[in-house]
Structure 1
């Protein structure tokens, strides 16, 4: 994670609920690319949306699941005010913001046809969303939050994951959360249900989960500390991922029960 250098802002995406900015920025090597920048609004209960985006990308990488390259950027409020009202700018969290690199070959579609996609890829994304308790890949609002090209998908938008980790600590029953996950709204459910041989469809995902290096996430949280990105207590994340790794048969039972 290395902060980008802003070159210029090209506009604001009005079709997204977060109204992200599209920017040109350079990375630490001087390479210039287009990115989308999310400015999250302050909430009474901080759910650490920027941190959730980062953690989800890092976990997806270890689970061999596709997400765009990400970085962070600090944009002065004066530059934001050209695209948001002063009231909106005041409501944004201060500091570094999450940036997702624009992928030119992929399109964001309101609804997708998955007939030509690889079964294991679709199953992996579905299982990832159950693991991360993602509340934002559904069909209710026509927002699959997936990028698509000819034969593959890329996952985006993970600020609404791991909702049980917030500034308001509570007692958490991990298994109950998995059991109650509203999978019936998931945009890929019909595809996963259509897979004829289901008994081993999640095995690749679960094997990657077994190999998940939780300790390696320490460096990610250290970087967030460096750039003052709030995330709560890293031990809350570690405890959950450790439970998942130790309860893979339980996860498999629930995943298969959903399809």
Structure 2
């Protein structure tokens, strides 16, 4: 993942959530490019490891052929800090001082509204995104706060905001203590009924439901469990908290080994 230097502050993202992201101009090999940058507090960084989760979600989504914005780690140098308005400079006193997670601004993309844009949503995309969010236990695509965290760019769906994935890896328990959640709808950790695509999946006919996770299953069975190693190492080298990474890999390995059972379980969730 590239490390880019912020050059100038362009403004806030009006639709941003609790992190109130900024749009900044960065220098990407001589090209000035707008990036959306998340601003996490030091407490969030230490306890929840959101920069690592954002990076992991971005990389892992690509393993399932899901589209994500180009991501980078963003440096706020002294020159950039001197350009900030007083209010924004004051806010940084509450923010972790390390590298920030940022994604290239999708200037022509809009937030998905399934009531208006259903015609653009393909069944395999709906199934794969729902299954992916169950795999990583993403609490934030729909969820309690009803945030789509999904953009549509032309006819492409673009996944954003993965700061709440892998909640089981926040602690420091040893990898051998990890127990995969049982494939049981009553005890499933994720509130799947609140997922953005759950209503659409429920409305599908029986034949569609039998096939809707086939694409996801193919990618899960062929998943490179070591796909996150490079970015995990990069984050650690740059003193960014990554949580219990070995537990994340164990979770992915165990789910991959039971790909068929996992996808069958997902079918029961939308029955």
Q: 2:103: which partner in 1?
A: 100
Tell whether the 8 Å contact from 1:81 to 1:89 is kept in structure 2 after alignment.
no
Cα deviations across residues 148-176 of structure 1 (Å, max 9, x unaligned)? 24433211000011011114538543223
Q: 2:73: which partner in 1?
A: 72
Distance apart, 1:93 and its partner CA:
1.9
Structure in which a larger fraction of residues adopt helix = 2
Match of 2:136 among 126, 132, 138: 132
Cα deviations across residues 110-151 of structure 1 (Å, max 9, x unaligned)? 765442111101111111110110111115433111112443
Aligned pairs for 1:145-160 (under 5 A) are 145-160=149-164
Cα deviations across residues 7-32 of structure 1 (Å, max 9, x unaligned)? 211011243121101011122x3222
Match of 2:192 among 183, 188, 193: 183
Unaligned runs of 5+ in 1: none
Is 1:209 paired with 2:220?
yes
Distance apart, 1:224 and its partner CA:
1.1
Aligned pairs for 1:23-34 (under 5 A) are 23-27=24-28, 29-34=29-34
Match of 2:165 among 151, 161, 166: 161
Tell whether the 8 Å contact from 2:172 to 2:243 is kept in structure 1 after alignment.
no
- Flag the 1:110–1:194 CA change in 2: closer, same or farther, 3 A: closer
Distance apart, 1:64 and its partner CA:
0.5
| 1: CA distance, partners of 2:73 / 2:178 | 30
Tell whether the 8 Å contact from 1:6 to 1:26 is kept in structure 2 after alignment.
yes
Aligned-residue RMSD, C-alpha: 2.3
Is 1:238 paired with 2:223?
no
Aligned pairs for 1:107-126 (under 5 A) are 107-108=110-111, 113-116=116-119, 117-126=121-130
| 2: CA distance, partners of 1:222 / 1:177 | 31
- Flag the 1:89–1:253 CA change in 2: closer, same or farther, 3 A: same
Is 1:58 paired with 2:59?
yes
| 2: CA distance, partners of 1:120 / 1:109 | 16
Matched position secondary structure for 1:6:
strand
| 2: CA distance, partners of 1:68 / 1:112 | 24
- Count of aligned pairs: 257
Distance apart, 1:105 and its partner CA:
2.5
The two structures have a TM-score, normalised by structure 2, of 0.86
Matched position secondary structure for 2:11:
strand
Q: 1:43: which partner in 2?
A: 43
- Flag the 1:191–1:114 CA change in 2: closer, same or farther, 3 A: farther
Distance apart, 1:195 and its partner CA:
2.5
Unaligned runs of 5+ in 2: none
| 1: CA distance, partners of 2:114 / 2:42 | 30
Tell whether the 8 Å contact from 2:141 to 2:195 is kept in structure 1 after alignment.
yes
Distance apart, 1:85 and its partner CA:
6.5
The two structures have a TM-score, normalised by structure 1, of 0.90
